[in-house]
Amino acid sequence: MTPQAQRPGWRRLAAAFPRRMIVPSVLLAALIIIPFAAPLITDANPIRISVRERLSPPSWAHPLGQDEFGRDRLARVLYGGQISLTVAFVATSIACIVGTLFGLIGAYFRGPFQFVTTRMADIVLCFPPILLALLVVTLFGPGAVTLVAVLSVLYFPSFARIAFSEALRVSSLDFVEASRALGTPSRRILLRTILPNIAGPVSVQYSLTAAAAITIESGLSFLGLGVVPPAPSWGQMIRGARQFMEQDPLGILIPCIALTLTIYAINFFCDRLRDTLDPKGGAGDGKDTVSRPIASAVAGHTPVADAPETVAEIRDLRLDLALPGAPVTLIEDVSLRLRANECTALVGESGSGKSLSSLALMGLLPGGIRQSSGQLRLRRKSGEMVDLATLTARELEQVRGHDVAMIFQEPMTSLNPVHKVGTQMVEAIQAHRPMSAEAARKLAITLLERVGINEAARRFDGYPHEMSGGMRQRVMIAMALSCEPRLLIADEPTTALDVTIQAEIIELLRDLRRDYADGLSLLFISHNLGIVADIADRVAVMYSGQVVEEGPTDLVLRAPLHPYTRALLESMPSSHEALHSARGDRLQAISGTPPLPNARPSGCAFRDRCPIAIEACATIRPHLEPRPGERAVRCIRAPEGQEVAA
């Protein structure tokens, strides 16, 4: 047990309380507690009038003097503070909770939720705040309850907007995709993953709004539209003292100082809170970046009906981007099969469709892209083959992380920066495995050790920014394997790492596959054909939304059948022996660029760049045809291609 775990609960809480929060917390607490402790501080009645003592200077009986009606100023500023603070904090809290929920839901679920959130905020923001407040107070009459209602309505749109834009930004980060890929339910992602990451800006907005609410409450009370006399409030005190400010400046100074101090304390507290919620505390490496979404697809050519060795299969997949007018086809006629205990690599130029194919296999297609035909099938650990289209959202969440898991290109952004590594691992484990927090902790530490993290118990309690890129990728691998999925999709998992760390991660993946008791299939997406040659059993080459060649890695890389595969090999530097012999000594760039999805040529999509294209390539749309040696190729000139390769 760690020394921290041995401490009693209150001590651990105190130890966890950041030192920089102490001063602002004490200041704010004092400013809130003092008004509510008014009966203990003074026994004067804040509404008792004594005309003979009006505008009396401070005395023992009345330390802050008496106002224009001879009422005790100390009592009035204390009791007035109770009302001003209650109205401001209750209204701000309501606005914050409602606005943040609207923003979160709108940004995460989009569609009609986004429409409702943004339009509601726009409508309220159309009204100048003070006019809206005046209108409501005139309609419903002044009073504290009306004030709370007015201020809540006035301020919720600003929270909704901030939460919406921040949640939109955070939703696109890799660790949110990673959580979804691990099958974490949406509610949990919203509250545990996205909310803590938007807490900083929301807390700053809270401080600004609470301060503004106190000011507006005072302003309305000053205008006689807020708290009803004789009940005291700071605004009313200013209103009353205004006429006598030259002969009795103390009268206006006291409520103004109370207002200023309170607003300062709230801002101070929220500023520190924002810094505290960001575990990097402003001292981070600043390297975290927003990276692109998940990548990948599957391999194996002619679909085989439920062959027992099949762990996942894409059949005749077509993905369209829904645009006004005609949809654009991004992926067409993709059929691939992943086999048990095999590593299948997916290669191809950027934009060839690797990411979308694998996103489809995880049931995580981006908004606006729909599956217009084909099947996506996965074998669950129970042995049952399921069609993703038939699963509910809840069932899909159960499949992700449990039966299929994913690791991402950018280890720097794949972990949630505001939670400790251990917390994230325990959450991922408990999402699928019913076990106590202590058991999940033990399993997480074992997994960290298994993926080669030194001092695993200490790292468990650390934050992601305290780790190097290679260590984070190891943590991601440990998390992905925590529920022992049958299939692991690795989206360019080494691209963001330096060469030595790349080699270590590849070695780790190889080891894990070897040690995995129930067998682990790997779908490995990479631009690096050298790594592919090292790790993959089979390779699928994609071009312009289609698989153009597929087969055993050794055969495909040594003797490519498709002219694009050959061109790809010739264009890539590699010291790998297989690749070297396939292309000779010289590197040759592939001329031209791949066609855009909405401007694919007729016939073969590669024909404009193909050195062996003939006239027929412009009219015949080639199919993925099986070839001897468990290979397949999409080219009517493939035999010539083989001759060239041989």
Ligand X SMILES: Nc1ncnc2c1ncn2[C@@H]1O[C@H](COP(=O)(O)OP(=O)(O)OP(=O)(O)O)[C@@H](O)[C@H]1O
Binding site for ligand X (CB under 6 A): 295, 321, 330, 348, 350-356, 366, 368-369, 597
Residue 66 DSSP class: B
- Distance separating alpha carbons of residues 298 and 313, to the nearest angstrom: 7
Place of tokens 């080669």: 452
Instruction: State phi, psi for 564 to the nearest 5 degrees.
Output: -70, -40
CB of 353 to ligand X, least distance (A): 4
The residue (of 260 and 350) whose beta carbon lies closer to ligand X is: 350
Q: Which is nearer to ligand X, 94 or 298 (CB)?
A: 298
Please identify, using beta-carbon distances, which residue of 153 and 369 lies nearer to ligand X: 369
Cβ(553)–Cβ(629) below 8 Å: no
- When the beta carbons of 72 and 177 are compared against ligand X, the nearer one is 177
Q: Are 422 and 452 in contact (CB under 8 A)?
A: no
With respect to ligand X, which residue has the nearer C-beta, 195 or 319? 319
**Shortest distance in whole angstroms from residue 295 CB to ligand X:** 4
Cβ neighbours of 8 (radius 10 Å):
8
Beta carbon of residue 329, minimum distance to ligand X (angstroms, whole number): 10
Q: How far is the CB of 238 from ligand X (least distance, A)?
A: 55
394 φ/ψ angles, rounded to the nearest 5 degrees: -65, -40
Q: Find the shortest distance in angstroms from Cβ 299 to ligand X.
A: 14
Q: Which residue type occupies 397?
A: E
The rounded distance, in Å, linking the Cα atoms of 137 and 225 is 7
The set of residues, in sequence order, having a beta carbon less than 8 Å from that of 273 and lying 6+ positions away, is 21, 24, 203
CB of 640 to ligand X, least distance (A): 27
Min. distance of Cβ 509 from ligand X in angstroms?
Answer: 19
- Round to whole Å and give the CA distance between 458 and 463: 10
Query: 3-class DSSP state for residue 329?
Result: strand
- 551: phi then psi, degrees, rounded to nearest 5: 170, -175
Q: Distance between CA atoms of 110 and 324, rounded to whole angstroms?
A: 18
Q: How far is the CB of 187 from ligand X (least distance, A)?
A: 24
- Identify whether the C-beta of residue 149 lies closer than 8 Å to the C-beta of residue 92: no
Residue with Cβ nearer ligand X (295 or 547) = 295
Closest to ligand X by CB, 464 vs 595, is 595
| Residue 311 or 540 having the CB closest to ligand X | 540
Q: Which two tokens stand for residue 226?
A: 């807020």
CA atoms within 13 A on the CB side of 545: 21
Q: Which is nearer to ligand X, 237 or 547 (CB)?
A: 547
Q: Which two tokens stand for residue 522?
A: 């790997």
Cβ 535 to ligand X shortest distance, Å: 18
**Tokens (6 digits) for 9:** 């609960």
CA distance 489 to 179: 14
Query: Quick one: 276 or 494, whose CB is closer to ligand X?
Result: 494
Of 209 and 355, nearer to ligand X (C-beta) is 355
Q: Which is nearer to ligand X, 94 or 523 (CB)?
A: 523
Measured from the CB of residue 490, what is the shortest distance to ligand X in angstroms? Answer: 13
Distance CA 633, CA 560 (A): 9
Q: Is the peptide bond before 230 cis (omega within 30 degrees of 0)?
A: yes
Closest separation between CB of residue 369 and ligand X, Å?
A: 6
Tokens at 222, concatenated: 């000053």
In angstroms, give the least distance from the CB of 539 to ligand X.
14
Closest-by-Cβ residue to ligand X is 355
Residue 191 CB neighbour total at 10 angstroms? 12
Tokens for 459, please give them: 């790292």
Least Å from the CB of residue 368 to ligand X: 6
Cα atoms in the 13 Å half-sphere on the side-chain side of 425: 31
Q: Which is nearer to ligand X, 241 or 388 (CB)?
A: 388
In terms of CB distance, is 161 or 562 closer to ligand X? 562
Nearest to ligand X of 351, 641 (CB atom): 351
SS3 (DSSP) at 339: strand
**CB of residue 591 to ligand X, shortest distance in Å:** 20
What the block records as the tokens of 349 is: 């130029």
Of residues 46 and 353, the one with the C-beta less far from ligand X: 353
In the complex, the smallest distance separating the C-beta of residue 234 from ligand X, rounded to whole angstroms, is: 52
Give the C-alpha separation, 120 to 138, whole Å. Answer: 23
Angle value at C-alpha 88, between 87 and 89, nearest 5 degrees:
100
Handedness of CA 70, 74, 79, 84 (dihedral sign): positive
- Asked whether the beta carbons of 617 and 609 are under 8 A apart, the reply is no
Indicate the SS3 state at residue 538.
strand
The minimum distance between CB 133 and ligand X, in angstroms, equals: 43
| DSSP result, 466-524 | GS-HHHHHHHHHHHHTTT--SEEEEESTTTTS-HHHHHHHHHHHHHHHHH-TT--EEEE
Helix, strand or coil, per DSSP, at residue 625: strand
Closest CA to 400 of 489, 319, 340: 489
